[in-house]
Structures are given as C-alpha cells and as structure tokens.
C-alpha cells in the first residue's frame, strides 16, 4: 500500500495492468491506495464507498474486469467461459443501483464481448484486449470530457451574468463531491467550479468573479465536508463549509439582507450539482439533499427579479444520461445502511506541543440511540422543471424550450 497526498482517485498501470484506488473513507486525513485485483475487490470497494462518484465507480468497475481477466489468464486456474465472465459483470452492476454510469459501462463491456464471442467460448487474450481497450478509453475520455464540461459551464455562467447585467463578486453553492475524487480528474460540478475559478478571476476584467464556494457537508456520509473541502483546500479555491440545513439562511443573508457571511458579501448566483442518473425528460437523480437545493432556489426565485434569480445547474458527462428511463419516477433510489446516519467514523485528532494536529487511530462514534428506525436514501430526484441548465461535454448547455422541456438528444 502507498500513501500519497493526491487528488487522484484511480491509478491504473497500463503496462502492468494493475489497478489501485485511493481509500476515500479515510479522507481528508492521510490515506492509502488499495489494490483492486478482482471483480469482488471492486464490488466491495464500490459498495463500501471506498471509491464513489458516478463516473469513478464506472471506471473502477471497468478496470477491475480488465485486471481480473488479465490475472485469471495468467493463473493456472480453470479457464473461464464468456458466460461466467458475463455473470461476474452482472454481479458487479448490483454494487450501486442508482448511478447509471456503472451499469452503462459494464453493459457496454458485456455487449462488446458477446458481439464477438459465444457464451460457451473460453475467455482468451482476445476477450481481454476488447475489455482493456474499452476501459482505458472510458478513463481517458472521462478526463477530456470533464475539461470540456468545465469550459461549457463557464460559458453558460458568463452568459447568464451578462444577461443579468451582474457586476462584482458572486458565490456558488454545491453539494456532495463531484471533483477529481469522483471522476478521472477535474470533475463535473466541481469541474465547473475549478474552471470558473481559473477563468473568472477579478483581475481578468470580465466585471464579475467567483468570490466564494459554499460546499454543503452532505449528510449523512459527509462527502462535501470530507472530500469537496479537501479538494477546494488543495486547489486554494476560497470556500466556506456549511451544513445542508444552512442554505436558506445563507441565501437570505447574502442575497436578500445583503449582509456578509464570514468575510464575504458575494451573493449566491448558482447552485451547481452533479448527477448519478439524468433521464429522458431531464429529471436528475443526485445525492440526497439536491432536490431540496432546487426547491430552495425556486422559492427565492419566485420573489426575485430576473436579474436577481439564482440558476440551478446540473453538471454531468453524457455517460450519466439514461434515455431508457422516461421520468424520474422510475429511478431506483439506493438505500444505504442505518449506521451511516447513526454513527460517525474518523481518526482521533490531537494537537502536539508544537501546535501540529496529529492524526490518530480511526474511531466510530455513536450519534443516535442504537436500534432505531432510520431512513437513509442515498439520492433524491430534482424534477426537470426546477433545473435551469444541464451542462455536459457537448458545446452548449441544455436549457428547456418554451414548453419547459429538455431535449437531451444531440
């Protein structure tokens, strides 16, 4: 195992055909890379959320099928049939049901193999080659697409601010983690924030600039507090961490009362989230709490002038769009274990004589009575009528037509 203070969630050695992932359950404290050698290793790591984020879990799953196949071919074990490989792939799809990237990628791999081979055929190096090429392309395309998505987000944000005749500093609210730790790099919603931070700086003369990011801590698994804060701090992007239940007060303080929060008075102009599954009509499943953010923006906008309105942006690569599902009503929402809500895990922190924080052993702390009824859906669905724009790697952001409908087909 290696430790590495990096934002690289996934490491794949093309020559050695070796896969390791950053154990994200230990972040934001020093963590380790753990090897993924089998489909079962990947299932467990995805299920436990040692790796999470819709694009990242699809990439890790695809690479895991590649590595598993490679190691099996090298072993002296009984050759595997295509049917057996397909069955393992179908098992891996069940590790997390809501994020469509996972099922899309593994279904693509299944189709690729079955287009050229019969179920009873032996898994040979030719099968491996198909899977390897697909997995490497998925990883590399995701990274390239995230930079395009970031630029498209900047274009949309610039257009809106110009239309609203907005001048000065602005803020962005986001939820969960949608950055390098959730993708192959740069990120989706956090990728837009990275690109905005780089391209809309005060000294670049556009007349408006990003002053503050407000990441929601994202209960109950705290991806915002643990992961997005880690990324924003790493990139030196100005941010202030808030609880999920603070967003209404934040917007009321900044945008309505025109007062400051900490040292910033920049109004919230955008709420930017990721997605785990965007369906045909634009309804978008994302981390629990996202629907609430869309509702909050809608509530304020009902009182705001056009120039004051807050825009709600969903950011995702096209691999997150599910054209098989017509509306959000049909999206399966993953429910997770109760203990994610009734306990908190983390290291013991102590400050030594030199004032340096030392990271000790990992503990689990109870924050609710044991054996109680808990509801822990990992996602909710923001209806398309509350979404202003869906930003992908395609050139222009998708916005609704005069009938209030998205057309996500290009």
Distance in angstroms between the alpha carbons of the first and the last residue of the chain: 44
CB of 325 to ligand LNRAV4D5, least distance (A): 17
CB of 295 to ligand LNRAV4D5, least distance (A): 17
- Between 127 and 278, CB nearer to ligand LNRAV4D5: 278
- Candidates 114, 112, 71, 107; CA nearest to 92 is 107
User: How many angstroms separate the CA atoms of 291 and 289, rounded?
Assistant: 6
The helix or strand, by DSSP H or E, that contains position 128, with its residue range, turns out to be helix 125-163
Q: Which of 23, 41, 68, 276 is catalytic?
A: 276
Angle of CA points 30, 31, 32, to nearest 5°: 140
Q: Residues of 106-115 as b/e, b for ≥16 C-beta within 10 angstroms?
A: beebbeebee
CB of 189 to ligand LNRAV4D5, least distance (A): 7
User: How many angstroms separate the CA atoms of 140 and 131, rounded?
Assistant: 14
The helix or strand, by DSSP H or E, that contains position 358, with its residue range, turns out to be strand 357-366
CB of 265 to ligand LNRAV4D5, least distance (A): 28
- Residue 22 main-chain phi, psi, to 5 deg: -70, 125
Question: Which residues contribute to the site for ligand LNRAV4D5 (CB under 6 A)?
Answer: 52-55, 176, 178, 182-183, 188, 223, 273-274, 276, 286-287, 378
User: How many angstroms separate the CA atoms of 299 and 333, rounded?
Assistant: 25
CB of 172 to ligand LNRAV4D5, least distance (A): 15
User: How many angstroms separate the CA atoms of 105 and 95, rounded?
Assistant: 13
- Let me know if 276 is a catalytic residue: yes
Structure tokens at 122: 């032996």
- Between 267 and 274, CB nearer to ligand LNRAV4D5: 274
User: How many angstroms separate the CA atoms of 229 and 177, rounded?
Assistant: 9
Residue 17 CB coordination number (10 Å) = 17
- Between 47 and 159, CB nearer to ligand LNRAV4D5: 47
Q: Which residues are catalytic?
A: 276
């Amino acid at each position: 195992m290696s430790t590495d203070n990096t934002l690289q969630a996934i490491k794949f050695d093309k020559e050695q055909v070796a896969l390791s992932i950053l154990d994200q359950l230990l972040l934001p404290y020093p963590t380790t890379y753990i090897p993924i050698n089998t489909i079962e290793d990947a299932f467990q790591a995805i299920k436990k959320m040692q790796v999470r984020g819709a694009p990242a879990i699809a990439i890790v799953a695809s690479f895991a099928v590649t590595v598993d196949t490679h190691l099996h071919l090298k072993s002296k074990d009984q050759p595997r049939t295509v049917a057996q490989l397909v069955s393992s792939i179908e098992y891996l799809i069940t590790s997390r049901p809501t994020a469509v990237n996972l099922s899309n990628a593994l279904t693509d791999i299944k189709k690729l193999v079955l287009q050229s081979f019969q179920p009873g055929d032996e898994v040979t190096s030719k099968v491996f080659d198909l899977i390897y090429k697909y997995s490497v392309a998925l990883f590399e395309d995701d990274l390239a697409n995230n930079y395009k998505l970031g630029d498209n987000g900047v274009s949309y944000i610039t257009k809106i601010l110009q239309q609203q005749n907005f001048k000065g500093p602005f803020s962005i609210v986001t939820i969960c983690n949608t950055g390098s730790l959730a993708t192959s790099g740069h990120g989706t919603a956090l990728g837009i924030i990275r690109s905005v931070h780089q391209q809309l700086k005060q000294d670049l003369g556009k007349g408006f600039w990003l002053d503050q990011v407000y990441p929601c801590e994202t209960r109950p698994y705290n991806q915002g507090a643990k992961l997005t804060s880690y990324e924003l701090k790493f990139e030196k992007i100005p941010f202030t961490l808030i609880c999920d239940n603070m967003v209404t007060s934040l917007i009321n303080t900044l945008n309505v009362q025109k007062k400051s929060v900490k040292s910033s008075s920049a109004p919230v102009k955008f709420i930017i989230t990721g997605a785990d599954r965007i369906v045909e009509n634009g309804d978008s499943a994302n981390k629990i709490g996202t629907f609430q953010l869309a509702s909050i923006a809608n509530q304020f906008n009902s009182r705001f002038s056009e120039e004051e309105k807050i825009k709600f942006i969903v950011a995702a690569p096209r691999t997150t769009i599910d054209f098989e599902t017509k509306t959000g009503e049909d999206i399966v929402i993953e429910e997770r274990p109760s203990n994610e809500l009734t306990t908190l895990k983390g290291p013991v922190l102590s400050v030594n004589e030199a004032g340096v924080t030392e990271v000790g052993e990992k503990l689990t702390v109870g924050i609710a009575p044991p054996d109680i009824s808990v509801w822990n859906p990992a996602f909710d669905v923001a209806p398309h009528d509350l979404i202003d724009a869906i930003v992908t790697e395609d050139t222009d952001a998708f916005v609704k037509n005069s009938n209030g409908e998205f057309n996500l087909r290009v």
